[in-house]
Amino acid sequence: MALSVEISTAAILRHVVARSHGRRLLYPDAGSRAKAARRIAECCARHRLQCVVWCVTDRFLHLVVRGTPGRIAIATDEIAGSRLRHGHCLSTKVNPDIYLLEVARHALHAPVRGGLVRRVIDWPHSSARETFGLSLAPSWLDPTPLYDLLGPRDGKGSERFRRFMDSC
């Protein structure tokens, strides 16, 4: 099988998923999930990546980032690589179209699907509150690619994204 290497210096969007095998937990408690969230923030800042959306549950880590392929690969290894003794990590390219919205919806709904919370905004280890406009987003989190797909830049992107998320 041939190895595919991306050498481009143009910024792309990638969806990074770390998943445990079976019933093993990647992030078994709130402390380890908070540590993973800090690691995401540090890696995005250090490697000059813009995070579009993120979520960490007991068995999953979802991250959609924008940056160069090389920087994303290094950050992915730093964020998820050390935790995957009992799991695997996938990284797929995401086009800035309706698929990006579906990936964001899938990532933010992970704790609801897992039965951890009833509403997306109740999960503290995700970017849901910032993406919905309920909290101020840190400098490394930029949900504007999501907002741009839902309408003009008029300051109502978070409101439209919230309606999009509620429509499923």
Per-residue pLDDT, 84: 59
pLDDT in tens, 5-24: 555 678 899 999 988 877 78
Residue 30: how many CB atoms within 10 A of its CB?
11
Residues 13, 16, 19: CA angle, nearest 5 degrees: 165
What percentage of the chain exceeds 90 in pLDDT?
71
Helix (H, G, I), strand (E, B) or coil at 1: coil
pLDDT in tens, 84-130: 566 677 889 999 999 999 999 999 999 999 999 999 999 999 999 99
pTM: 0.87
Per-residue pLDDT, 91: 86
The number of angstroms, rounded, from the C-alpha of 106 to the middle of its chain's C-alpha atoms is 10
Is residue 25 scored above 60 in pLDDT? yes
Mean pLDDT in residue range 127-146: 95
State which fold the 12-166 domain adopts. Alpha-Beta Plaits (3.30.70)
Contact 96, 88 (CB under 8 A): no
* Domain positions in the chain: 12-166
Question: Up-side HSE of residue 152: CA atoms within 13 Å toward CB?
Answer: 1
Mean pLDDT in residue range 48-59: 95
Per-residue pLDDT, 119: 95
What stretches of 7-135 show up as alpha helix (H) in DSSP? Answer: 30-46, 69-80, 98-108, 110-113, 128-131
